[in-house]
Structure 1
Amino acid sequence: VSVPEFVLKFRKFHMGKSLKKQLSVPFNKRKIHKSALVFSDQSVSTSELLKTSFSKEWLLMQRNSFIYVFKIVQGIIVALVASTVFLRTRLHEDTEEDGQVYLGALIFIMIANMFNGFAEATLTLARLPVFYKHRDFLFYRPWHFTLPNVLLKVPMALLESIIWVVITYYLIGFSPEASRFFKHLLIVFLIQQAAGGLFRLVAGLCRTVVVTNTAGSLALLIIFVMGGFILPRGCNSKMAGMGLLVFTSYVCIHCSCCQ
């Protein structure tokens, strides 16, 4: 029996006629139970979704605790190496060469903390397939996933920044004032946050390991080149040296004293 013939026979049958008569009358929505209708994409409240996302992120951080412990140990070793390279109880600040030493210490601190963000790219790439599946199934909105992921990484980044600054600041010989110590700590912490956000963004846009590593390296290269730390070779300008002491980033433009 073909499908059209079966449909025709069913409509002529008394059950088909009864069903057609029932469906011809519009249904009164006031009689339906309120739980049977869905008025939102979310099945639970925003607070419950955030609570669940925070619990999930905390569980994943506990499972990946080896990565965070390894990053802390790596930071301690790199900080000790940097301290021995620039080992001095108090850096001199009289000549242009002294300013170059300051510059070398500052740019090494920036590079070391920026490269810590590569771990965030790897972790984000590993979670992207599950994230897109949950998003397509309307389990939660993207910001429900992103907000706990960012906030729970803040204490870890703050701990790494404190360890780095405590080891390097006075061994390298920066200015001993407490106010400048905490300003330096704040800058290192913000660099770590910027690096983590940058590599999470790159991983979310690229979605593959090869493209993410390439784009992340290119982004770091652009940041280093445009960061204001590059000086022309053979610059003998005393003003450039003084500028390095006053500002953490200084661009020396080719002028008459450099030619």
Structure 2
Amino acid sequence: MALSGALSDVQNDESSQRTFGTDVENQAADTYLQNTTVQNFAWQNISVTVKDRKTKESKALLDGISGIVRAGEICALIGPSGCGKTTLLNVLAHRDTVPGAKVGGATLVNGVSQSREDFSRISSYVEQEDILIGSLTVRETMSFAARLSDSSGLSKTDRINRIDALLDAFGLRNQQHTLIGTPIRKGISGGQKRRVSVASQLITGPKLLFLDEPTSGLDSAASWEVVSFIKNIAKQNNLIVIASIHQPSSSTFHLFDKTLLLSGGQSYYFGPVPELSLFFESMGYPVPVHFNSAEFVLELMNTDFARNRETTKQLDAMQSTWASSAMSRSISAEIDDVIKRPLDGFMRKTAKGARRAGFSTITTALIHRSFIKSYRDVVAYGIRVAMYMGLAVMMGTVWLRLGSDQEDIQPFINAIFFGSAFMSFMAVAYVPAFLEDRATFIKERQNGLYGAVPFVVSNFIIGLPYLFLIAILFSVVAYWLSGFEPTVEAFFTWIMWLFLDLVAAESLVVLVSSCFPVFVVALALTAFANGLWMSVGGFLVPPKILNVFWYYGFSYIDYQRWVFQGMMVNQFQHQTYSCGSGCNCMYQTELADQCRIAGTGILDQYGYKTGLAGTWVGILIGIIAGYRLLGWLALVFFRK
């Protein structure tokens, strides 16, 4: 009962959350919602059609699906593979379905249709895959879920009490300080991850909970355990739970109150689980003794093997029987009654911003969470630090103690290119860490917790100190071993350029990975972009002779170009080099009569001028801002 009280507090506290609009409107909405619950959730004549790629004809993925679930009930969507379970679940949860699909029908909360934004404030969705941050503990996962969803200014004590109640209810108290688990570090079990996924959504106080294959990958015992926990939570707190289930065991299946049987996008049964067997027996398909009723009807409904006309006729007859049955008519009448007598004004008075914390609160929580992940998860920055330090030692020992003779000029230039270009190229190691962060963001955005701006801002801020640390560590080793300009000012100027180089490279990773959230694709495209920047950056082909297409089309937006020429000026603007014996100078400068080469003459060969460092820094900052802005736009428009 501790959990019941805690979750009731979550739902009641929604009414007192900080909102926008006038105080009078907000207070009225708050007072109304305190006494309001979701009494029922119905869907009527849901249809989803797409255009067949081959025939160009319309193809129905779902056709006239209806049902109703009341507070405290849990409903299972079952059916053979490809029957439309996930599609229906996405429609019911107000999520995107198949691209280009046309969706018809209505979803009703207490008899009233809701906008996607309003609906997201009272519902949560648990993905089939456990999208959890592996480097967080169970308690930390719950804590951050509470912080991201709570804008009511709850005290730390109240938040802890709610988390404790859920940990106890889901049997996770003993694992509260255990990591979720990463590919490198072992964590909790699969069943425990499922429970954490559900519990972290319940902490947000939803009134409707959608679960996509909550028992996927679990054995029958773990499946029963997870569904049993969910059932108890629903009963205690009057939640409505709808879950798609694939081949449930008999014990797990009978935990559900209702079930919707789908096949080929059509409904074949909707009603209480115990009456499923009786209904099919009335059609002449009795469930064998000691046989799992769910497994029996799934085999019966499987259209993948309906190759003959007789089997197709059999399925058509069963669908017709259901459509004309008293139970089906009763469901339709029940939905019609809910529509005729809605809970007037429900959610229409909901104040904007409910279940969403303020920008600063969300951003602070995201930065805190990212900080914990960054120092625990070696994939995020640990491996990169090790790689960069290895690169620093290699560079420093290959270009060891370069001198002031003219034969050292080209090695210096080579070292500058290598240090800047390959440091940015190795930013591809950030791709997997960002993709994990992006997946978490997509899940939390779809559950109505926050938008793209806090995510982009927090992701940018948390990377800065690590990238600055990498720039310093690399420079301390490589700069002095190689024998670059031995002054404090030149050293820290080098660090500045390297830091901007790393920030730009990581921003490129964010942009590409936001547009193409597939590891191999993001990795390949980021590597390709870095190869392009190397080609037009001014080292391999000097800017003076670079093809005009590449120069004007790409060189100006190439961050490596500005870093390279900044480092070149930093190294050569105050240096002179000996022409050696015979005074045969490689570069003709004003110091030729002294048998020396002025560093500015080397810069002239590349067309680089001194005194423009501030301008170049501004251009780099603009490129970084452009990458981040485009990354934000990609996250806004690419919803998945």
**TM over 0.5, yes or no?**
yes
Cα contact 1:229–1:251 (8 A) shared by 2: no
Distance 2:393 2:467 in 1: 18
Distance 2:425 2:451 in 1: 30
Match of 2:554 in 1: none
Aligned-residue Cα RMSD (Å) equals 3.5
Distance 2:416 2:482 in 1: 10
Distance 1:85 1:136, change over 3 A: same
1:1-259 correspondence to structure 2 within 5 Å: 3=329, 37-40=350-353, 43-65=356-378, 67-88=380-401, 91-92=403-404, 95=406, 97-231=407-541, 238=587, 245-246=602-603, 250=606
1:166-185 alpha-carbon deviations (Å, 9 max, x no partner): 11112111111211111101
Distance 1:100 1:137, change over 3 A: same
Amino acid at match of 1:91: G
1:18-44 alpha-carbon deviations (Å, 9 max, x no partner): x98x98xxx8x9xx9xxx622237622
Distance 1:3 1:122 in 2: 51
Distance 2:376 2:390 in 1: 24
Deviation at 1:66, TM superposition (A): 6.0
Distance 1:47 1:102, change over 3 A: same
- Normalized per residue, which structure has more strand? 2
Amino acid at match of 1:246: L
* RCO comparison, higher one (Cα < 8 Å, 6+): 1
Report the secondary structure of 1:39's partner residue: coil
Cα contact 1:114–1:192 (8 A) shared by 2: yes
1:98-142 alpha-carbon deviations (Å, 9 max, x no partner): 331111110110123112311221211233333222222221111
Cα contact 2:371–2:462 (8 A) shared by 1: yes
Flag structure 2 segments of 5+ consecutive residues without an equivalent: 1-325, 543-584, 590-596, 609-640
Match of 1:256 in 2: none
1:46-66 alpha-carbon deviations (Å, 9 max, x no partner): 222112212221232233046
Amino acid at match of 2:352: F
Flag structure 1 segments of 5+ consecutive residues without an equivalent: 253-259
Amino acid at match of 1:201: L
Cα contact 1:103–1:244 (8 A) shared by 2: no
Cα contact 2:535–2:541 (8 A) shared by 1: no
1:55-110 alpha-carbon deviations (Å, 9 max, x no partner): 2212322330465333223322221111111111x532x53x43311111101101
Distance 1:251 1:209 in 2: 39
Report the secondary structure of 2:606's partner residue: coil
Distance 1:123 1:239 in 2: 50
Distance 2:601 2:514 in 1: 37
Distance 1:116 1:91 in 2: 28
Match of 1:257 in 2: none
Cα contact 2:399–2:415 (8 A) shared by 1: yes
Cα contact 1:83–1:168 (8 A) shared by 2: yes
Distance 2:413 2:354 in 1: 53
Distance 1:168 1:244, change over 3 A: farther
Amino acid at match of 1:83: G
- Normalized per residue, which structure has more helix? 1
